[in-house]
Every structure is written in C-alpha cells, then in structure tokens.
Amino acid sequence: MSELRCDPLLKRWVLIAPGRESRPDDFAVAITNGQPDHPCPFCEGNESLTGPEVLVRRSTNSTANGPGWDIRVVPNRYPAVAPEPASQIWGATAGFSESGWGRHEVIVETPRHLPLTATHAPEHWHRLFEVFQQRLMDFRTVAGLQHAIVFKNHGPAAGASLMHPHCQVIALPRVPDAVTAELQAGEQRWHQAGKCPRCELLDAEIEAGTRLVATAPEVVAWCPPASRFPYETWLLPRQHSSHFESADPGVLAELARQLSGILTRLEQVVPGLSYNLVLQTAPLHAPALAGFHWRLEILPRLTGMAGFEWGSGWFINPVAPERAARELRCNDRLGEGG
C-alpha cells in the first residue's frame, strides 16, 4: 500500500510505494544477458500481460484487449499509487502522512517494439496528445483527484525500465507544492503587470532569438535561460493557455511537428540519448488561469543528480542554453525561427 509522506521542515513529499519494488527492468537485465528475459507486455499480441484497457484507439473489427490497436492505455502493473484511498495509513508521524492513492497508467505509444533511436511521425504524436487530453478530462470526473503528471521516460538514464515506447500518467489527490508555487508566482506577477509572465518571457525570447529553437504562429520551442539539463527544450503555445486539455487541433499539430523534429535532431546531436518528457499543465479543477502557461518539457539526461544537487536544490548544467539552441536549430524542419 502506498503512502504519501512529508518532512515537516523540508516540505518535501515522497510516495513510499513498496508495490514498485519488484518491477522488471529491461535495461538492467539486458546489460548482463544481452536480451530481456521476459516477453514484452506492450507488444501487440501480448495484451493479456497487462491489465484491461482504460482507453484505446483500435480498428473497428478488433476485440477489446486483443490485437488491432495503435495506442493503448492500461493500468501500471507496479503502481506508485493505490487505486483507492486507504482507510488507515501504516507508517509515519501523524500529520505528515496520508494515503498515497490515485491513478498510475501506462500509455503504450505503438504496438511495435521500436528501437530507442526511433521517433514517431508528427501525426502519431498528435494522436498521442489527444490521448493525453482524454485522460486529463477523464481524471476530472474522479472525485478527489487534483492533479496529473503526464511524462515519458526514454532510455535507461531517464529512468525507463521497459524498452517498448510508452508514456505514463500519474494522477494525484494533492497538487504538488512546486506546481502551487509556480501558479502563485504567476498570478502575483499577472496582478502586477496585467499579462501572463510566461507570455512576457516568451516575447523577450523571440525578440532576443539566441535561445530559440523553432517558432510558428501556434507553438514556440526554446532552451530556457535557466536550463537544468544540457539541451533542455520547452515547447509552449504562442497564445496564452493554462490547460493542455484545451489545446485545439492546430496547436497540437504544430506541437507534434516541433517535438518530432527536435527529438530527431537531438538523436543526431547526441546519439542514443536518454530523455524525459514532462507535461506541465494546470491542476485538474483549476479554472482558466491568466498567470500560468502550459508547456511540454524535453529533458535530456546527460548529467546526473549528485551530492551537490541534493544538498543545494540547485542544478549544474555544463552546456549553456545559447549553445544548445544553436545546435538544435540546425534543422530546417523545425520552422522559421533562428
């Protein structure tokens, strides 16, 4: 059973999740044996190895939980959160511990066991984004769920344990403090300036140009000034919007085009790169927020967190974002910017 715990002085939250301890690890096994020692649960034909579909895009003449799909959402077999709140928690100091419940799902991106170096075509990313939107909308109907993190761990250095391309989503009964702090800072600056502060920064970046990777009327990609990671890239809608669920097909299409292009380019710049994708969007039940702007973050994992980072909360990034953007925009497919 999972438990949410917080250090009362550090305000740092941890999901104690014993259910995840025994999950398989393709990469650890592959390092010793060359090949994973189990059939891939995400390949077409192996649907019985996962829980039942929560959401699926499949051909009309196929059967639920059988072959014939192109995107499939299933419960995570080793969830970080329990499906329902526990009536009793079993561990820590009273007041700093609560039930760790919610939803933890796997979005199997494709029936095919693609190599890590492959990137989906823009059209397929577009379909995946529509699935993200659908999951976020569905979570709004579950009483008690407050926030969802949609993410992808790609490659062993990014925390992936299975090779088959997949995203994940974890929906939580609590908005993380870091998200709340960003919302509050944004609202406060909006009240001062009458404009979304991220929109303002976006305008300044477009004006300066040095950190731009790609621009289009719908979406801008750039390496943020305080990039935590080498080649960290953020994709944001040009028109202000706090909720990814509200993005229209034009925005999703351009987002898909830029993401596909940047991932292809990253693989050229750093072959075999591991990365995380993280969708930063407003809490499930928040109204449209004038001071918060959703974004999709690409977080390449060339550098590790180490003692200094744990001790300070700061990051060390050896590749200046100005240089990262210069290298990433050497690609005509990415649009007019740069």
- Considering the complex, what minimum distance in angstroms separates the CB of residue 194 from a second copy? 16
* Cα distances (Å, whole numbers) of residue 338 to 227, 228, 318, 335: 19, 22, 22, 9
Q: Scan residues 151-170 and list those touching a second copy (CB under 8 A).
A: 151-153, 157-160, 168, 170
The rounded Cα 40 to chain-centroid distance in angstroms is 22
Residue count at the site for a second copy (CB under 8 A)? 81
Which of 119-127, 136-144, 224-232, 249-257 is the region at the interface with a second copy (rule: CB under 8 A)?
224-232
| Phi, psi for residue 312 in degrees, rounded to 5 | -110, -25
Question: What pairing do the DSSP bridges indicate for beta strands 219-222 and 97-99?
Answer: unpaired
Q: Which of 195, 224, 267, 326 binds a second copy (CB under 8 A)?
A: 224
Q: Which residues pair with 221 in a beta bridge?
A: 214, 235
Question: Based on CB atoms, which residue is closest to a second copy, 52 or 308?
Answer: 308
Task: Find the binder of a second copy among 41, 165, 197, 283 (CB under 8 A).
Answer: 197
- Say whether residue 95 binds a second copy (CB under 8 A): no
**Closest CB to a second copy among residues 46, 161:** 161
Decide: helix, strand or coil at residue 58.
strand
Nearer to a second copy, 29 or 67 (CB): 29
Q: Which residues in the 10-49 window bind a second copy by CB under 8 A?
A: 10-21
For position 6 contacting a second copy by CB under 8 A, the verdict is: yes
Inter-residue contact 225 to 321 (CB < 8 Å): yes
Determine if 80 is a binding residue for a second copy (CB under 8 A).
Answer: yes
Q: Please answer whether residues 169 and 107 qualify as being in contact, where contact means their C-beta atoms are separated by less than 8 angstroms.
A: yes
* 297-326 footprint of a second copy as x/- string (CB under 8 A): x-x----xxxxx-xxxxxxxxxxxxxx---
Q: Annotate 210-233 with b (16+ C-beta within 10 A) or e (fewer).
A: ebbbbbbebbbbbbbeebebbbbb
By the rule CB under 8 A, 96 interacts with a second copy: yes
Q: For residue 107, what are the β-bridge partners?
A: 73, 167
Site for a second copy in 175-194 (CB under 8 A): 176-179, 181-182, 185-186, 189
How many Cβ atoms from other residues are within 10 Å of residue 52's Cβ? Answer: 10
Contact assessment for residue 202 and residue 305, using Cβ atoms and an 8 Å cutoff: no
Of the pair 236, 253, the CB lying nearest a second copy is at 236
Q: How far is the CB of 236 from a second copy (least distance, A)?
A: 13
Q: List Cα–Cα distances, 72 to 20, 24, 132, in angstroms.
A: 21, 20, 11
Our finding on whether 92 is near a second copy (CB under 8 A) is: yes
- Token digits of residue 79: 């969830």
Site track for a second copy across 240-279, x = CB under 8 A: ------------------------------------xxxx
Q: How far is the CB of 206 from a second copy (least distance, A)?
A: 13
Should residue 110 be labelled a site residue for a second copy when binding is judged by CB under 8 A?
Answer: no
